[in-house]
Amino acid sequence: MIRRFLKPRVVQDSGAANGADAPETGHVRLEDDHARALEVGRARLIVTSAMFSLAFAVIAGRMVDVSLFKHVAPRPHPRHQTELTFERADIVDRNGVLLATSLPTQSLYARPHEIRDPADAARRIAQILPELNPTELKAKLASDRSFIYLRRNLTPEQVYDINALGIPGLYFEDGEKRIYPQGDVTAHVVGLTDLDDKGIAGAEKYFENELRNRRDPLQLSIDVRVQTILHTELEQTIADFHAIGGTALVMNVRTGELLGMVSLPDFNPNNLSTATPAAMFNRATLGVYEMGSTFKLFNTAAALDYGTATINTLYDVSHPIKIARFTIHDYEPQHHPLSVANILRISSNIGSARMALDIGVDRQKAFLARFGMMKPTAVELPELGWPLYPKDWREVNLMTIAFGHGMAVTPLHVVTGVSALVNGGQFHPATILKRNPGDPIPTEPVIRPETSVLMRQLMRMVVTDGTGGKADVPGYLVGGKTGSAEKSGAGGYHHKQLLSSFIAAFPITDPRYVVLVMVDQPQGNKESFGFATGGWTAAPCVGNIISRMAPLLDIEPQGSMDSLKVLKARAAREAKANGTLNGEESLNGVE
C-alpha cells in the first residue's frame, strides 16, 4: 500500500507580493496538522477493517471445518448436585413402599440477651407462628438463658417470614424431621421418634443403631396393602360392637414373616401429641391375655401328638367338673359323650379338661414350651410381653389351661403357635423383617406332620360345621377356631367382659397364612342377636380380611374340600385298626 503525503501549501496575501512583510508561520502549521490527522484516521480505519475481515474469515473457516469435515461430540456441562444425607435410613415395606423417611428442616431458637425488645419481638413472632402464646414467648425472650428453642421444624415459608422480621437474636438450626407417610396404619410396627430424632417405639427404637449406621432402607416384612385391610376391618368391627380395642395379625406360616399387625386404639406418629400411653400400648405383642378357646387347638394337638387320644376317642361331657372352688361347665351343655373332633367343633370346656387329664401336667408344660409359650416372642420389637403361667402347675391349672384360662400369652404367641400347627409341624420364630429367597429360616420341629394334617382337618370342620361358620370365604378353604374368654379383674372373672377372638389358616389344604382377630369387650348388637362371642364378632372380621387380601396375594380360589368326609374316613381307619368303636359314630352330631 502506497501512502501519499500532501505537501503543505503556503498561502500568501497580496501584501507579500507588493513587498510587504511576509505572512505569519501559524497559518502554514495549521494546514499541516489538519492533513496529518486525516491521514492517521484513514490509516486506523484501514487497519481496523482488516482485523475484522480476518476475524470473520477465521470464524467462517472454522464453521465450514466443523460442519463439513469433523464431528465433535458436545461436552457435557458439569452439574453441581448436592446429595442429601440424613442421620436415619428410610424404612420400607416388603414391596418398597415408604413407611418412614426424613426431610430437611429448620428450627427457630433465640439468644435472649441479644433481643432488644422482648415484648415487640414476641408479638411479631406470634403473628407468624400463631400456635405460640405471646405472653409465654415474651417470658422466654426476656429470660437470662443463653439459648432457648422457640419452635421446631418450621416450614420454608415460616423460615422466610421470620427471617424477614430482621429481629437480632433469632437464629435457625438445620435439622431433619421424621415423616411417616402411612400415618396411624403402621404406627405400632414402625413406631416413631422423639423431637431429638431418637426412636422411642416400634422398629424405630429396636433398630435405632442400625438405622443410624446404614444408608440403604430397612425393609420390613409388612405388606402395606394387607396392613391397610387389617386396620379398616378391625376398626369397623370395633365400631360395630362398641368395643374398647382390639388387634389383628397376619403371618406367613412358611417363614414366620408378619405381613400385617394392627393394634387399636393407635396413634399418628406424625403428631407426637397423639402418642399417649394408652394409644402406644401394643395389644399384639405386649398385652398378655387368657386367650380362651383358641387354646383348645394346642390341647387337641398335644393329645393327638402324644397319642393319648385319637379324633374318635370319646369323653364324657354330660356333667360339669368341680375341682377345688372351681366348676368347669360348657356354654351349651351336651348330654352324651363327645369325640375329640366334636369337642373341638362345639368348643367343649369339659371335654378339653378331660383330655388334658390324660395328657398330664409335665407333658402339657413341655408341649406349650416347644411352641414358645413360656417366654416372650422373638419378634424385633421392644414392646414384648412375658407370658403369665402358674408357678405351681397343679391339676386345676392343667384343666383350665386346656381351654385357655389360667395362662396368659400375647396374641402373637397364638399366631406363631398355630402357624406351626398347620404348616407341617415346623416352628418359625416371628419376624417383622423381610426374608429374601434363599435366606435361612430358623426352624424347629414341634409336632409330627401327621398331627398337623389332622389339625388342619379339624380346623376346617370348625368353620364348616362348628362355631366358626361366619369366617368362611367361598373358594379359600378357611379353617380356624373361635375363642371367647372372660376377662379377669378385681373379684374374679367378669362374665359380661369378653375377649372375643378367631384364628384362621387358609387355604387349609396347603396353608400359607394365619389370620387372628381379637376384640376387647365387644357388646352384642342387633345383627349378632345380642351375642358378643368370637363366632359373632371376630369370625366375620377374619372372613372379610381373607376375602380382601387373598386376591392381592395371588391366591386363586379353589374347589370346596369336604373335610367331614376326610375326617370320617380317617377316623374309621383308626377305629378299625384299633378294634374300637366305629369311626362314623365318633363324629356323632357333626351332620
* Residues with a known catalytic role: 293
Cell of 213: 449406621
Please report where in the chains the cell 370346596 appears, as a residue: 560
Closest to 587 measured CA to CA, from 291, 337, 323: 337
* Alpha-carbon gap, residue 156 to 413, rounded angstroms: 47
Asked whether 506 and 476 are in contact (CB, 8 A), the reply is yes
* Alpha-carbon gap, residue 529 to 241, rounded angstroms: 12
Question: Is the preceding peptide bond at 442 cis, omega within 30 degrees of 0?
Answer: no
β-bridge mates for residue 251, sequence order: 258, 514
- Residues 425/426/431/437 CA torsion (nearest 10 deg): -130
Asked whether 467 and 346 are in contact (CB, 8 A), the reply is yes
Question: Is residue 27 packed enough to be buried (19+ CB in 10 Å), middle (13-18) or exposed (0-12)?
Answer: middle
3-class state of residue 36 by DSSP: helix
* Alpha-carbon gap, residue 532 to 545, rounded angstroms: 19
CB atoms within 10 A of CB 215: 8
Asked whether 343 and 355 are in contact (CB, 8 A), the reply is yes
Long-range contacts of 568-573 (CB under 8 A, 24+ apart): 570/311, 570/454, 570/457, 571/310, 571/311, 571/312, 571/339, 571/341
Please report where in the chains the cell 379377669 appears, as a residue: 488
Length of the chain: 591
Q: Left (φ > 0), alpha (ψ -120 to 50) or beta: where does 242 sit? A: left
- Residues 354/360/361/366 CA torsion (nearest 10 deg): -120
* Alpha-carbon gap, residue 395 to 195, rounded angstroms: 52
Secondary structure letter of residue 73 according to DSSP: P
